[in-house]
Structure 1
Amino acid sequence: MKNYWKQFAGWVTGLRPNLFQRARLKLTALYISIVAVILIFFSLTLFYSLSKNIRDNFEGNFSDDVTQELVIAKTTDQLQTTIFFIDLIILFVSSGLSYFLAGKTLKPIQQAMEKQKQFTADASHELRTPLAVIQTNLEVALREKEWDKEKARILIMSAIDEVKLMAKMTQDLLALSKLENKQEIYSLSRINLAQIAEQTIRKMQNIAIKNKIQLSATHSNAVFIKGDAEAVQQLITNIVGNAIKFTPAGGSVDITVGRHNAKAIIRVQDTGIGIAKEDLPHVFERFYRADKVRGHGGGAGLGLSIAQEIVRKHNGTINIESEIGKGTLVTIVFPAVS
């Protein structure tokens, strides 16, 4: 019996309007009120105007005034009834339209709020893991009666790694927030993509060697765009860093920079583990990491979100093609300048 009551209570709770449903109903009521006020004004104006026309048309058409007044009164009543029913129909239709429009009006706000809630939940989840590791290490250290120097060093290094991970995550979150809120001010100038790609190769060569990855670049002598050199370098670093991270030892990452018509094109091709077809539409979402990739080396899943925002700020496009076990191709296109 208790289970039935619980089910009933859950059903009743589900019927309670949430915040956006209440806002939608209030906005619907506001729309209907505005329509009703306008409708009353026009209906009264129309009624008095037509009543005057009826009286003017009927006056002098009857032998006695009593019959004339009766006909005018009856016609006026019919007019009043007709206008009333038309108003009811208009109000009924406008109620449905108002509810629909209120939903359309509030939907972007609702989606933004849901994204914010999801973002908070994801950020909390991502921060909880390194904090748990640090807490565990400290608790282990406290329980130790006799300190072993090597064991202490391992615990401290593990804690430092987790702190670095959290620092990187907060740095990425701040960068992404600035990009999305248009707080990041870029210093736009004529920059050479080929040169920036070459600088990125040099900067990341040691990481590639450590992971036993062959990192190479093919480019034209000069491919120019109008952009922020530091932001574009961060963009290429993020993409190449991802490629190295998810490419097994012995694999390769190739960067190609070229120009086609009025477009400057960067391609980053790797021989990595690839991304599943069902995951591709979500790779630019914050904190999104495919299940097969989760845990395969750190990161909070913010690099591609930041990359996408940087590309957007430069009026470019970014596209990812991938196949499990065969690798990934990232193509970035910018408007080229001479």
Structure 2
Amino acid sequence: MKTRAEAGAEAGAETRTGPEREAGHAPAAGHGPEPEPAPRRRRRARGPRRRPFGLRTRLVLAFLLVAAVGCGTTAALTYRAARNAILEQTQDTAVSAFREQVENMRTSLPPEAETLKSHVLLIARQGKPRPWRVYAEYGTLRVSSTDRPTSSVITPELRARANASVATPHGSFQRVVKNGTPYLTMAVPALFHAFAKEDAAQHTGLVYYAVLELDEEEANIEAMVAAARDGALPALAVALIPALLAARGVLRPVRELRLAAHNMGRGRLDTRIQAKGSDELSDLARTFNESAAALERSVAELRRAEARARRFASDVSHELRTPLAGMLAVTEVLDEDADSGTLDSDTARAVRLISAETGRLAVLVEDLMEISRFDARAAELHTDEVDAADCVRKTLQNRHWTDPAAVVQDLVPGIRARLDPRRFDVVVANLVGNALRHGGAPVTVRVYEAEDHFVTEVSDRGPGIHPDVLPHVFDRFYKADPARTRSAGSGLGLAITLENVRLHGGTVEAANDPGGGAVFTVRIPL
């Protein structure tokens, strides 16, 4: 009986032996759905340990990262689309051609081996886009266009699809990877119509299989991947140029802001930044300019107020100096009368009190005038090469601080230094007098040489200085105890000491001795 083999629409499935397997069905028109590319697992490379980077480096890296992600995403999408297009074109061409040849094949049932052999050879030679390996199966009969009757590439799943096509006779296909080689396998059953072509097709039991190697398509895909990979590095290198330009544009106002802040820190409060555009950096520049202008006005007002206060103190001290001179002369006469006994005891006591307070007021006026000269930068230094130990010794002798029980002298002789004897005398006198008033006896005065400086050290055996007070001991009119409204000195002695030491190019420090008491250390370069 002559039958006409007919093929229905294909239901395709792609299968991979090994770790990957894909399945799909081709519609009757010969076009299957887009096969999904197999997922690929990537191992994360262990990168170098993170290190701090500058803002420019971070901006460039961020730009390159975005470019790399964009290139990678575009390459992945392009690869997927191109791979599907290449495989689908080959698949559709092969499946359509194979189905058409099986449909046009006339086979007698039951088929003879020689006839079936000639049929599969004919189909194999006419394979598109290149020759196939064709196999035919009918019951236990196995025929092929090769020297092997069956193929290990044809999977049991494909056979089951082909043999289970009684109800819906459709051809099937699979993409299979075996031993690293990709294959396209197709199965089309031979069908016949009982009476007319319009009648339902019946399965004859004869199934044709075709196997097509996809090595050329895979080679084209690999070449495309290699080209994309080779083009990625030049693309990133090209992206580096706009990255550097963008980083430069972003960092320019940042550099200007840093320079402006540095200038303001050095006292140039008139520093301003040129604000361009309307972005965030421009807003920051305008905010900086507004803050700088407000700070400049505040500092200028503070300086004017400070100048007025200094001028007031200087003017008052100068105005008080003349009447104080007359008051001191009168108090000296009254002191003589009180000492001679010409005044009664109450009057003598009042005279001595007035004399003491007038003397304290005179000291305060002199200290105010001295500190005013420092503020006005009018203090002058008249230096001479002297023996430092002799200067300290004369200061102690002039003030009658020679009692060993009160003042201990540890003076290394022969240290020659350029000093202003008058100002250095004030330094030593203020430190020793302060130690005698507020510390405990004995007060030790040491003079020695340390490297390229000579050191004057004054220490006492008192309770020391409270840690909260130490940072303020050289402040003007500073009082450790706010409740104490009156002191023996003017409150400017240590401040004047600090200014005199600075005028010599030296330093003065206050600290507490671990053994007890306060220690003041003056270092002046030789």
Q: TM-score normalised by the shorter chain: which range applies?
A: 0.5 to 0.7
Note the C-alpha offset of 1:100.
2.1
Instruction: Describe the SS at the equivalent of 1:205.
Output: coil
Q: How does 1:164-183 map to 2 (within 5 A)?
A: 164-183=359-378
Q: In the alignment, what sits opposite 2:461?
A: 271
Identity level (%): 22
What amino acid is the match of 2:354?
A: A
Matched, 1:150 2:320: no
The separation in 2 between residues aligned to 1:107 and 1:223, in whole angstroms, is 48
Q: CA deviation at 1:94?
A: 3.5
Question: Which of these residues, 273, 277, 288, is aligned with residue 97 of structure 1?
Answer: 288
The answer as to 2:496 corresponding to 1:301 is: no
1:260–1:31 CA distance, 2 compared to 1 (3 A): closer
Structure 2 distance, partners of 1:302, 1:91, is 49
DSSP 3-state at the match of 2:400: helix
Give, in angstroms, the shift of residue 191 of structure 1: 2.0
Q: How far apart, in 1, do the equivalents of 2:426 and 2:370 lie?
A: 11
Matches within 5 A, 1:37-186: 86-87=277-278, 92-106=283-297, 108-112=299-303, 149-186=344-381
TM-score by length of 1: 0.59
The Cα offsets for residues 69-113 of structure 1, whole Å up to 9 and x where unpaired, read as xxxxxxxxxxxxxxxxx3586764333111222244345445545
- Displacement of 1:162 in angstroms is 1.4
Say whether the 8 Å CA contact 2:310–2:372 is kept in structure 1.
Answer: no
* Distance of 1:299 and 1:282 partners within structure 2: 16
Q: Within 2, Cα distance between the matches of 1:293 and 1:236?
A: 29
Let me know the Cα RMSD of the aligned residues.
Answer: 3.6
Residue 232 of structure 1 is matched in structure 2 by: 424
2:415 maps to 1:220: no
Structure 2 counterpart SS, 1:284: coil
Contact 1:178–1:184, Cα closer than 8 Å, also in 2: yes
Quick check: 311-320 or 269-278, which moved more?
A: 269-278
Q: 2:476 aligns with which of 280, 286, 289?
A: 286
Is the 2:513–2:519 contact (alpha carbons within 8 Å) kept by the matching residues of 1? no
| CA spacing shift, 1:267–1:324, aligned 2, 3 Å | closer
Corresponding residue number in structure 2 for 1:332: 522
1:246-273 deviation digits (Å, cap 9, x = unpaired) = 134xx20111001011111110011123
Separation of aligned partners in 2, 1:319 and 1:31: 35
Q: CA 1:166/1:316 → structure 2, altered by over 3 Å: closer, same or farther?
A: same
The alpha-carbon distance between structure 1 residues 120 and 286, as it changes in their structure 2 partners (threshold 3 A), is farther
The SS at the match of 2:433 is helix
| Greater relative contact order (Cα < 8 A, sep 6+) | 1
Moved more, 179-188 or 275-284: 179-188
**Who wins on radius of gyration, i.e. which is larger?**
2
- 1:298 partner SS: coil
Q: What residue in structure 2 maps to residue 189 of structure 1?
A: 384
TM-score, normalising length: structure 2:
0.39
Change (3 A) 1:119 1:179: closer
Instruction: Tell me, in whole angstroms, the C-alpha distance in 1 between the residues paired with 2:410 and 2:514.
Output: 25
| Alpha-carbon distance between aligned partners in 1 of 2:510 and 2:358, rounded to the nearest angstrom | 31
Question: Is the CA contact (8 Å cut-off) linking 2:469 and 2:480 kept in structure 1?
Answer: yes
Whichever residue aligns with residue 437 of structure 2, its letter is K
Distance between the aligned counterparts of 1:325 and 1:295, measured in 2?
31
Counterpart CA distance in 2 for 1:327 and 1:107 is 42
Q: How many residues align?
A: 231
Say whether the 8 Å CA contact 1:191–1:226 is kept in structure 2. yes
Moved more, 295-304 or 281-290: 295-304
Amino acid at match of 2:419: G
Alignment partners' CA distance in 1, 2:447 and 2:483: 28
CA drift of 1:214 comes to: 1.6
Contact 1:272 1:327 (C-alpha < 8 Å) held by counterparts: yes
5+ residue gaps, structure 1, are: 1-29, 40-85, 125-147
> 1:318 is matched by which residue type in structure 2?
V
8 Å CA contact 1:201, 1:216 repeated in 2 = no
